[in-house]
């Protein structure tokens, strides 16, 4: 994705983002190219950040540290239209929408190839109108040359144009510019993309040209030609001719100016497959930018100073790609395609520091990062950096200066160093000396008898049964310390289930499990369940689905089942036009208890009534459910949470729904689960909670042990349906957005306070309650007004917290030690963390 910031900034590509400075930032992956203004003089530089280190959730900390103004963004450019390049776009537009509410609208242009409008139209279903998004989808008209440059921005500051690159169907070409492919190149490539009609297959090369650098003005020459010092000096420097003061002659700029230098030129290249490379190498409109020509042709050549390659290593490391790179002569090549080596250097030191501190206090609940763990494998890049003169690997915060001309070139002064966990721990101990004793006490808890209050379902539980991984524990939008909602239920050898999938979920999986571990987790997903349509609960979904399809491309497999509210299907259908997400959608309504009973009893159709039935005793609409059944009253006619069942729209085909329900039943059985049941909650239209219930098991002694039960509230006010669903739950994961003193705000926004969440768990008799979805006004730890109820069965969640089922008896005992670590954070201590939106204004 490429960005241009309001009045000052210029370009960014987000597969690995690049930003042209006057300080602009966004919630995307990768590289950033920015352009600063110093009074009347422009200064340009290229800042690069790698894909795995700068993910959607990482924007805020970088914004704070660089004083980036998101409100300055005018234009966003995409190099391809797919989840890999546009995955962070919804989050960015939501942030801009928040700014727009305060400034009466924020005008943003989004540029990209082909059917970009489908994507943005889908996002409008959950992005407020305050984000005034204008799409500019460019594609040549029928009969026009598709490879002809298309100019989008042409100002006194920069000219930005694009060249479309289509994958070719077949190998070989008669064009004179065709590259030489060896056997290795052939095996790497042409089968991976055979030019389907998906818009995501179209790639773009962006050409960014700065204006000519004027030569230095020579006042001695001007005086010699009869010109007095004054305003005419400025006219000559601006390129205008003037009349001499002492002679009757015209003085031209060339008479008094030194030789000018061509403006710097940067190319941003995204060549995802070898099929694209064959087309790229034969595009004639790129000819003027090549310098490996005859002396006569070089006279008309445009000198390229830097080429940023977003192409993956499997393409960039081939001999054919190296041949194409060599055409640019002495240009600086920055290889920015998924540099795995950068993942071990966290771009957000604040969140990495908190994670390392938590790991020191309780490694059982907070395992070392998948990047830092001693057992983490050392990853090799997909391919080596091409051995072409002037080639370097991208590094986090690497810069390439374009102006002033004297600084043209690379600048590594801001490249961060790896901060080791021991350094962080030494800092912690110096700040809180008592933490050493607390760490020892926590270790003793795990070496004890495991606690006396053990739920029957945990009897004989091994550590390979079930683990709850809290990937995102914040609300609304990502912050420095908490990503948005996502929970990974790790069933180990039996796969896993995602409950909600907010932006940055894939990045969080990589942080927790490492690159290979995250890939395995995605491949082994059994199901993804989404609670409601709000963006902080689902905008990471398309990226996860696309990666799973890619990882399982050569392996026989079934589409992944996605269970969610019906509005989500519109968004996913739009994405399916861009790339195959390889999934089957199931409405949450079809997984309520009454619908599942209808399915099990083979009544022919799932229970989706056209008109709720009326209870003869009290006149309430019940939808045909018995008293006390889950889902019995929240969607009643005329109620606050009236269902969307009555709204226009074609109902899902019953037979197709039943087939997906059969598939879901088989998937759950294979995962050792007995049921997945959705139930309505009080938040927005079509908002749900979910029950996951494991099948009973037999222990080593042959005794039958009941299966565990996990309940996730989603976003909700306290309600009877949630309490009923949570009866006897092993774990209730409940949202606790607000502190106890903000009940009115919680009621206004249909959320819960900390006390209300705990009371819901108590009323339901849940064995353990994990509080999550905290407002970002509580950056590290939420505020507690009442202490008495917090130690019995409750714990608070942090990002990357991993709760193994075998550790549940000890969970509440850790809370006092967590509060010790954050004793100075119980009351917010940073003004910028009090109002998240203000940081992005």
| Residue ranges, the chain, pLDDT below 50 | 1-16, 20-61, 64-66, 170-176, 189-196, 374-383, 603-652, 827-841
Residue 439 belongs to what H/E stretch?
helix 435-447
Residue 834 CB neighbour total at 10 angstroms: 14
Q: What are the distances in angstroms from CA 23 to CA 159, 480, 637, 666? A: 18, 19, 51, 52
The angle, 0 to 180 degrees and rounded to 10, between the axes of the packed helices 116-123 and 89-102 is 60
Instruction: Report whether 278 contacts 178 (CB < 8 A).
Output: yes
What is the pLDDT at residue 609?
A: 39
Q: Is 92 helix (H, G, I), strand (E, B) or coil?
A: helix
DSSP 8-state class, residue 100: H
β strands within 595-752, DSSP E: 673-680, 688-694, 697-698, 704-705, 709-712, 731-735
What is the pLDDT at residue 298?
A: 56
Residue 500 belongs to what H/E stretch?
strand 496-501
How far is the C-alpha of 696 from the C-alpha of 63, rounded, in Å?
49
Q: How does DSSP assign 371-438, residue by residue?
A: TT-TTSPPPPPSSPPP--TTEEE--TTEEEEEESGGG-EEE-TTPPPPPPHHHHHHHHHHH-TTHHHH
Q: Is 41 helix (H, G, I), strand (E, B) or coil?
A: strand
In the sheet that 150-154 helps form, which strands lie side by side, from edge to edge? 150-154, 159-165, 203-209, 265-269, 306-309, 332-335, 391-393
Q: What are the distances in angstroms from CA 754 to CA 602, 650, 729, 751? A: 42, 40, 19, 10
Omega of the bond prior to 196 within 30 degrees of 0, cis? no
How far is the C-alpha of 351 from the C-alpha of 504, rounded, in Å?
14
Instruction: Report whether 34 contacts 21 (CB < 8 A).
Output: yes
- Burial (CB count <10 Å: 0-12, 13-18, 19+), residue 697: middle
Q: What are the distances in angstroms from CA 72 to CA 6, 320, 772? A: 4, 40, 33
Using alpha carbons, select from 115, 123, 278, 120 the residue that is nearest to residue 198: 115
Dihedral sign of CA atoms 742, 745, 747, 753 in order: negative
DSSP 8-state class, residue 727: T
DSSP 8-state class, residue 614: B
Q: Is 691 helix (H, G, I), strand (E, B) or coil?
A: strand
Residue pointed to by tokens 């669903």: 725
What is the pLDDT at residue 147?
A: 73
Instruction: Report whether 478 contacts 808 (CB < 8 A).
Output: no
DSSP 8-state class, residue 257: B
Dihedral sign of CA atoms 506, 512, 513, 515 in order: positive
How far is the C-alpha of 496 from the C-alpha of 489, rounded, in Å?
5
Query: To the nearest 5 percent, what fractions of the chain are helix, strand and coil?
Result: 35, 20, 45
What is the pLDDT at residue 86?
A: 83
How would you classify residue 195: left for phi > 0, otherwise alpha for psi between -120 and 50, otherwise beta? left
What is the pLDDT at residue 653?
A: 56
- Burial (CB count <10 Å: 0-12, 13-18, 19+), residue 759: middle
- Show the domains of the chain with their CATH numbers: 3-167+200-213+261-338+383-411 (3.60.15), 219-255 (no CATH), 449-603+652-808 (3.60.15.10)
What is the pLDDT at residue 80?
A: 87
What's the pLDDT tens digit per position in 468-491? 999 999 998 888 888 999 999 999
Residue pointed to by tokens 């006897």: 728
What is the pLDDT at residue 390?
A: 80
What is the pLDDT at residue 108?
A: 78
Using alpha carbons, select from 776, 789, 806, 249 the residue that is nearest to residue 536: 776
Alpha helix stretches (DSSP H) within 87-172: 89-102, 116-123
Cα of first residue to Cα of last residue in the chain, in angstroms, is: 21
202 HSE (CA, 13 A, CB side): 22
Tokens of 276: 């694209």
377 HSE (CA, 13 A, CB side): 11
What is the pLDDT at residue 34?
A: 34
Using alpha carbons, select from 61, 789, 837 the residue that is nearest to residue 480: 61
* Predicted structure pTM score: 0.82
């Amino acid at each position: 994705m490429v960005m241009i910031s309001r009045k000052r900034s210029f370009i960014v590509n987000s597969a690995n983002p690049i930003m042209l400075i006057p300080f602009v930032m966004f919630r995307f992956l990768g590289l950033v190219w920015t352009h600063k203004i110093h009074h009347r003089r422009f200064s340009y530089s290229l800042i690069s950040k790698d894909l795995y280190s700068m993910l959607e959730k990482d924007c805020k900390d970088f914004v704070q540290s660089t004083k980036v103004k998101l409100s300055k963004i005018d234009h966003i450019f995409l190099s391809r239209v797919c989840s890999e390049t546009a995955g962070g776009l919804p989050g960015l537009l939501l942030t801009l929408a928040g700014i727009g509410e305060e400034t009466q609208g924020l005008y943003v242009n989004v540029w990209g190839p082909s059917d970009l409008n489908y994507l943005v139209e889908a996002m409008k279903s959950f992005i407020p109108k305050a984000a005034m998004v204008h799409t500019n989808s460019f594609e040549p008209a029928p009969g026009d040359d598709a490879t002809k440059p298309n100019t989008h921005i042409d100002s006194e500051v920069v000219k930005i144009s694009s060249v479309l690159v289509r994958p070719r169907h077949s190998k070989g070409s008669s064009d004179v510019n065709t590259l030489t492919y060896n056997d290795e190149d052939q095996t790497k490539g042409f089968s991976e993309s055979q030019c389907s009609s998906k818009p995501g297959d179209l790639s773009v090369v962006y050409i960014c040209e700065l204006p000519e650098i004027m030569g230095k003005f020579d006042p001695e020459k001007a005086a010699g030609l009869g010109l007095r010092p004054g305003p005419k000096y400025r006219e000559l420097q601006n390129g205008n001719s003037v009349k001499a003061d002492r002679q009757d002659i015209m003085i031209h700029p060339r008479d008094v100016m030194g030789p000018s230098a061509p403006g710097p030129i940067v190319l941003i290249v995204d060549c995802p497959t070898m099929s694209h490379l064959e087309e790229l190498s034969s595009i004639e409109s790129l000819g003027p930018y090549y310098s490996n020509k005859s002396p006569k042709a070089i006279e008309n050549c445009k000198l390229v100073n830097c080429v940023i390659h977003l192409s993956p290593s499997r393409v960039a490391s081939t001999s054919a790609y190296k041949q194409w790179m060599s055409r640019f002569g002495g240009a600086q090549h920055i290889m920015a395609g998924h540099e795995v080596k950068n993942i071990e250097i966290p771009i957000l030191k604040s969140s990495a520091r908190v994670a390392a501190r938590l790991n020191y206090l309780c490694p059982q609940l907070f395992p070392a990062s998948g990047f830092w763990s001693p057992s983490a494998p050392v990853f090799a890049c997909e391919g080596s950096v091409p051995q072409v003169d002037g080639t370097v690997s991208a590094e986090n915060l690497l810069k390439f200066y374009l102006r002033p001309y004297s600084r043209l070139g690379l600048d590594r002064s801001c490249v961060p160093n790896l901060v080791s966990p021991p350094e962080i721990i030494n800092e912690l101990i110096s700040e809180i000396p008592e933490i050493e004793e607390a760490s020892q006490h926590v270790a003793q808890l795990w070496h004890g008898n495991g606690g006396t209050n053990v739920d029957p379902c945990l009897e004989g539980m091994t550590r390979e049964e079930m683990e709850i991984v809290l990937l995102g524990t914040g609300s609304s939008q990502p912050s420095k310390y908490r990503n948005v909602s996502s929970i990974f239920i790790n069933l180990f050898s039996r796969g896993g289930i995602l409950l909600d999938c907010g932006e940055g979920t894939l990045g969080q999986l990589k942080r927790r499990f490492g690159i290979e571990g995250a890939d395995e987790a995605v491949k082994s997903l059994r199901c993804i369940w989404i609670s409601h349509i709000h963006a902080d609960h689902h905008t990471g979904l398309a990226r996860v689905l696309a990666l799973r399809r890619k990882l399982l491309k050569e392996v026989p497999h079934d589409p992944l089942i996605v269970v969610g509210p019906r509005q989500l299907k519109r968004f996913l259908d739009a994405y399916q036009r861009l790339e195959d997400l390889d999934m089957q959608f199931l409405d949450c309504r079809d997984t309520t208890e009454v619908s599942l009973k209808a399915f099990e009893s083979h009544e022919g159709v799932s229970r989706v009534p056209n008109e709720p039935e009326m209870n003869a005793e009290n006149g309430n609409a019940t939808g045909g459910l018995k008293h006390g059944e889950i889902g019995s009253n929240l969607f009643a006619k005329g109620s606050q949470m009236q269902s969307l069942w009555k709204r226009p729209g074609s109902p899902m085909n019953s037979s197709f729904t039943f087939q997906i329900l059969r598939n879901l039943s088989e998937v759950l059985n294979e995962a050792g689960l007995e049921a997945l049941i959705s139930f309505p909650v009080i938040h927005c239209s079509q908002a749900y909670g979910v029950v996951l219930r494991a099948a009973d098991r037999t222990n080593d002694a042959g005794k039958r042990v009941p299966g565990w039960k996990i309940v996730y509230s989603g976003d909700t006010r306290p309600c009877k349906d949630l309490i009923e669903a949570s009866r006897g739950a092993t774990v209730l994961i409940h949202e606790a957005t607000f502190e106890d003193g903000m009940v009115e705000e919680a009621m206004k926004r249909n959320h819960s306070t900390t006390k209300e969440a705990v009371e819901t768990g108590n009323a339901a008799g849940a064995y353990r309650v994990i509080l999550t979805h905290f407002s970002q006004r509580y950056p590290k730890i939420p505020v507690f007004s009442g202490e008495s109820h917090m130690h019995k069965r409750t714990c608070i969640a942090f990002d990357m917290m991993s709760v193994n089922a075998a550790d549940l008896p000890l969970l509440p005992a850790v809370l006092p030690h967590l509060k010790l670590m954050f004793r100075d954070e119980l009351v917010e201590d940073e003004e910028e963390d009090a109002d998240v939106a203000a940081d992005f204004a």
